[in-house]
Structure 1
Amino acid sequence: MRFKLTYIILAGTIGLAGLMTGCNDDFLNVEATDRISDDAITSDSSLFEDFVINRYMGTRLQDKEAEGTPPGFGRGFEYALWASLTDEAIYNNDDNTWVVQRGQLAPENTGIAGTLWSRSYRSIRECNYALTHIAEVEMSQARKAILIAELKFIRAYRYHDLVRNYGSVVLVGDAVSELNDDLTADALFQKSSIAEGINYIVSELDQAAAALPSANNTSTWLLGRATKGAALALKSRILLYAASPLYNAGTWQQAADAAEEVMGMGYTLHADYESLFHTSSSSEIIFERLYVVGARHVCLEISNGPNGYGGWAGNSPLQNLVDAYEVKEDEDTAVPFDWSNTTHVADPYANRDSRFYASILYNGAEYRGREIETFLPGGKDSKDGKDNWNASKTGYYLRKFVDENLPMDNPWDVAGIQPWIYIRYAEILLNYAEAQNEVAGPDASVYDAINLIRQRADMPDLPAGLSQTEMREAIRRERQVELAFEEHRFYDVRRWMIAMETENEPAYGISITKDGSNLTFEKKVALDGRKFEEKHYWLPIPRAEIQSSGNKLQQSPNY
């Protein structure tokens, strides 16, 4: 059975509840009915465990977040995916994403990136509350140990989200701040170094891994909850970040060792790439967010679908990403797509990496009983089709995650049930390959890790004899196509410090002209003004957070 998703609001975490504590007037002493008291949670072991479970979710802080159920970690399944802040996609109707794409981020204007700071620290406070009071709960010591480990994992995940977005952050330890505390104290707003933040996260994950169940997420009762594998996999990710040029706070050997530990835990790749994102139980999934009917997320099929089917285009893939999928010349050879190659341009969607077909809807793709038509004039899924305001600006539509068996018409009570995979085994293989290549160059183990992923996609193995630099580029391209739309690209181009190149490229789409039976393909700019500056390597802390600290909290560099 799946764990409960009832969202528990703790009275002490709501600001107005704290503000009322000094009032004696009887008419103000009204017991709230929309939240559960602290005493109730600590006196009921089942309720306390529900409170811990609900820390896997956060609070809705912005419009168009978390339709159906509260948000989890990162962006996940929302209307605008995190991918639409990168060179993977643009959000067709903006929804506060273009401010990031166009380099207009400011402390007063953070777009959809403005909720990470406050939601993360709220969740950390809630974890700290549970860790502080768990000793008061009547429960077996063995059960308490697992819940403590889960709380440490959740808290570490929140800090991982903070560090990878802001760099230096405040480590609050186990403190549970109250409204009557001295909220202007310097210590409360003192940032740690990036290395200190990462070391703290790693320590918390090590402690969590030691007590969490070792089974992977094929065990039914663990679906959606932390395991030893999840803790060690998140450790692998943060140590990979730490070793990267932007962070410079760890070693590649540490990152390789962390990934290798997870590789020995029995995870394997799911047989079929496309169906992986529709299933809730797989030997590849290490940590995921689950949804059921009645507790759904944004209905992907209509929000991202082609306008000719009644869809809204949503997160429209960019040509920048499409060009990253290789062309398979034969069983042994794959080459980069090349716009100067007349054969490639004449039929640009032929013989591509199979992950392209599983991830992107393109002109001519079979979908729901007919072919996608983005050509002009007259294409059903172009601006000449119905609902032309919902036609993709890029000429592509999202296929990854989308389940054709779920309806597009009136989907609200039945669709939106796909899992969001936070961490999967392919990422661990890619983490290992990248770190080990930096440690020792392209040895056999690096080839094995990458080729295992490519073989699943029916792609040829990488050519033998690559240099370390050539392998580095191959691994980066492999991450780009394997992990597309999964919230990795935003962080990868920053940690590699190549964002000044990739994020200053125009946001390209495709223009397809039909003349009789002939099609002509030409790149076009789908969103103008795309821009990235050095300061954008880190997000700005919202101005309101700086002001509420009495200006003691230091802003991210150069904002």
Structure 2
Amino acid sequence: MKKLYYSIPLLFVLLTGISCSKLTEKPESALVSEQFYLNQGQAVAAVTGTYRKLYETGQSLYNSLFQIGVEMATDDYEAGPRARNAHVRAISNLTHDASNDRMEQLWKQSYDAINASNLNIINIEAMNQNQIDATVQQRLVNEAKFLRALHYFNLVRWFGPVPLVIRPTEGLSAQELYVAKASEDEVYAQIINDLKAASSLPNYKNYGDADKGRATSGAAKSLLAKVYLTRLDWTNAKLLAKDVIDKEGYALFPDFSDVFNIDKKNGIEHIFSAQFKGNSGYQGNSLASRSAPADIPGINGDYADALHAEGGLYKSFALTDKRLSVTFTTGMISPTDGKYYALAKPQFNKYYDQTVVGNQAQSSKNTPIIRYAEVLLILAEAENELNGPTQEARDAINAVRIRAGVEKLSDTESKDSFRELVFEERRKELVYEYQRWFDLVRRGANYYITKLKTAGKTNAAARHLHFPTPQRELNLNPKLVQHPDWLAK
């Protein structure tokens, strides 16, 4: 009898509809691990259940936790009038510390998802030919590796050195439960290995409607290009971005608004997204409610996520930029009294769902994790770092700009000025898509601090290039140590 592994906690939520792999299906029971992985249906359901850890209800990773736990610490966002949690407001003001409960959740939920992927990898690999088709078996293992890589990529950028756990827990000994931090290089090596394996996944066009939203070869290569970009490995970043552009079959939507059109979800530009479906077991996108106005009759928004106006993001858009009216709203017509209400300042609007006016907690708009426009900008940045602002670099960024309705860049830019233009293009293209903090910190302490202090966030300091290791984890695990930048001085 093969050995089965488990994670802590032992109960692991999976889908019970094992004959269907649709990602929007609702989990209906919790089973112990010995009941899993007995046949192909269960293996598919196990991996499907792990996708849900990206966007489960409440403040889960890609369902607002990124925003309130990370993006608030940038020049573009701040805690809105109805953000009542003191820990969220502390992040917005850059007064957070190791006791912050959002840091705890970022850490806890990421490792919970990693544990789930570890379980899937080890147990699905152990299944025999009578239990699962070999092609499906390899696909599921590689999907799990993609998800594990994504979570570790987030963790290492947020916290720096972190524990690297790639096998499920087999027992309750201190040796297994208490794991020291691995170096950033070790974590990145694992991420790269997992994504290289996942690059052999099927192309997105090979998936039917029931499997839309699963990891694909294009998703793995795109994320790997981003990993290389973060590591300043410009050669490999360009190589992978080019591979996606030339071979994977993606393209920009002609109209920017289609990126957030519910009828075009998982379309030609969407490489990998957090999947949301309103009025279906509390699977709505909470970003829609968190950013919607609270003082317009009938809208019933939370207005907990707000534009940090001092950062200048809104004013940085050209008036002709088609992204402006999709990204922001400056006023709305009340569904209750039919009157137009102007807002005191622009508010985010990408995820506002016109089909559920008055109940934005049920927004069905997906949140992009990586899309084709970003791959073009990765190519532009990497090529510029390698060879300066060549025609190839300009063509890549200009494709994004032309779609937005703004003029193409000239051929007179220097390498340094082109670099800054790429970052500004990322800023405008990827608003409210969990990218700004990552972009700021990968430019280094001086860049991050200057941007935030210019925006009036005067508490910005070098330590904010990482988040502190949560105090709760330090208390539980004697092998953990605090990030050096957060040690008391």
- TM-score category of the 2 structures, normalised to the smaller one: 0.7 to 0.9
Whole-angstrom distance in 1 between the partners of 2:386 and 2:470: 38
Residue among 71, 76, 94 paired with 1:103 = 94
Using the TM superposition, name which of 231-240 and 120-129 deviates more.
120-129
User: Which letter does structure 2 place at the counterpart of 1:118?
Assistant: K
TM superposition shift of 1:305: 2.2
Contact 2:117–2:144 at 8 Å: present in 1 too?
Answer: yes
Contact 2:69–2:102 at 8 Å: present in 1 too?
Answer: no
Residue among 35, 58, 71 paired with 2:53 = 58
Residue among 161, 172, 180 paired with 1:168 = 161
The yes-or-no answer on 1:356 pairing with 2:324 is yes
Whole-angstrom distance in 1 between the partners of 2:238 and 2:407: 25
Contact 2:427–2:436 at 8 Å: present in 1 too?
Answer: yes
2:215 equivalent in structure 1: 226
Encode CA deviations 1:257-289: one digit per residue, 9 max, x unaligned: 121111112210012212311331311000112
Closer/same/farther in 2, CA of residues 271 and 289 from structure 1, 3 Å limit:
same
1:505 equivalent in structure 2: 454
Instruction: Kindly report the root-mean-square deviation, in angstroms, between the aligned alpha carbons of the 2 structures.
Output: 2.9
Whole-angstrom distance in 2 between the partners of 1:133 and 1:276: 37
Residue among 239, 254, 274 paired with 1:271 = 254
User: Whose radius of gyration is greater, 1 or 2?
Assistant: 1
User: Which letter does structure 2 place at the counterpart of 1:262?
Assistant: V
Encode CA deviations 1:148-202: one digit per residue, 9 max, x unaligned: 11111111111111111112222223x22245222478xx533332222222211
2:25 equivalent in structure 1: none
1:287 equivalent in structure 2: 272
Alignment of 1:372-521 (within 5 A): 372-374=341-343, 395-408=345-358, 410=359, 415-497=362-444, 498-506=447-455
SS at match of 1:405: helix
The alignment-based identity, stated in percent, is: 25
Whole-angstrom distance in 2 between the partners of 1:81 and 1:106: 12
Residue among 241, 246, 249 paired with 2:230 = 241
TM superposition shift of 1:100: 1.3
Q: Which has the higher helix share?
A: 2
Residue among 44, 53, 65 paired with 1:49 = 44
Closer/same/farther in 2, CA of residues 218 and 82 from structure 1, 3 Å limit:
farther
User: Which letter does structure 1 place at the counterpart of 2:430?
Assistant: L
Alignment of 1:81-230 (within 5 A): 82-92=70-80, 93-94=82-83, 95=85, 96-108=87-99, 110-134=100-124, 135-136=126-127, 138-173=131-166, 175-183=167-175, 189-210=179-200, 212-216=201-205, 219-230=208-219
Whole-angstrom distance in 2 between the partners of 1:467 and 1:12: 54
Whole-angstrom distance in 1 between the partners of 2:272 and 2:394: 26
The yes-or-no answer on 1:557 pairing with 2:487 is no
Whole-angstrom distance in 2 between the partners of 1:16 and 1:227: 29
TM-score by length of 1: 0.74
Whole-angstrom distance in 1 between the partners of 2:171 and 2:384: 50
Whole-angstrom distance in 1 between the partners of 2:161 and 2:306: 33
Contact 2:70–2:91 at 8 Å: present in 1 too?
Answer: no
User: Which letter does structure 2 place at the counterpart of 1:290?
Assistant: Q
TM superposition shift of 1:433: 0.7
Whole-angstrom distance in 1 between the partners of 2:222 and 2:140: 19
TM superposition shift of 1:448: 0.2
TM superposition shift of 1:214: 1.5
Closer/same/farther in 2, CA of residues 542 and 83 from structure 1, 3 Å limit:
closer
Encode CA deviations 1:381-416: one digit per residue, 9 max, x unaligned: x5xxxxxxxxxxxx22211221233311x556xx32
2:241 equivalent in structure 1: 259
Whole-angstrom distance in 1 between the partners of 2:9 and 2:385: 48
Whole-angstrom distance in 1 between the partners of 2:112 and 2:98: 19
TM-score by length of 2: 0.84
Contact 2:57–2:63 at 8 Å: present in 1 too?
Answer: no
Closer/same/farther in 2, CA of residues 455 and 81 from structure 1, 3 Å limit:
farther
Whole-angstrom distance in 1 between the partners of 2:352 and 2:207: 22
Closer/same/farther in 2, CA of residues 41 and 127 from structure 1, 3 Å limit:
same
Whole-angstrom distance in 2 between the partners of 1:80 and 1:547: 24
1:6 equivalent in structure 2: none
5+ residue gaps in structure 2?
13-27
Contact 2:110–2:151 at 8 Å: present in 1 too?
Answer: yes
SS at match of 1:115: helix
SS at match of 1:480: helix
Closer/same/farther in 2, CA of residues 79 and 539 from structure 1, 3 Å limit:
closer
Whole-angstrom distance in 1 between the partners of 2:219 and 2:470: 30
Closer/same/farther in 2, CA of residues 437 and 16 from structure 1, 3 Å limit:
closer
Closer/same/farther in 2, CA of residues 140 and 102 from structure 1, 3 Å limit:
same
Contact 2:6–2:169 at 8 Å: present in 1 too?
Answer: no
TM superposition shift of 1:297: 2.3
1:387 equivalent in structure 2: none
TM superposition shift of 1:203: 1.2
User: Which letter does structure 1 place at the counterpart of 2:321?
Assistant: D
Whole-angstrom distance in 1 between the partners of 2:485 and 2:70: 23
TM superposition shift of 1:312: 2.8
Closer/same/farther in 2, CA of residues 464 and 172 from structure 1, 3 Å limit:
same
SS at match of 1:58: helix
Using the TM superposition, name which of 228-237 and 77-86 deviates more.
77-86
Whole-angstrom distance in 1 between the partners of 2:378 and 2:466: 22
The yes-or-no answer on 1:531 pairing with 2:479 is no
SS at match of 2:163: coil
TM superposition shift of 1:440: 0.5
Closer/same/farther in 2, CA of residues 499 and 217 from structure 1, 3 Å limit:
farther
1:331 equivalent in structure 2: none
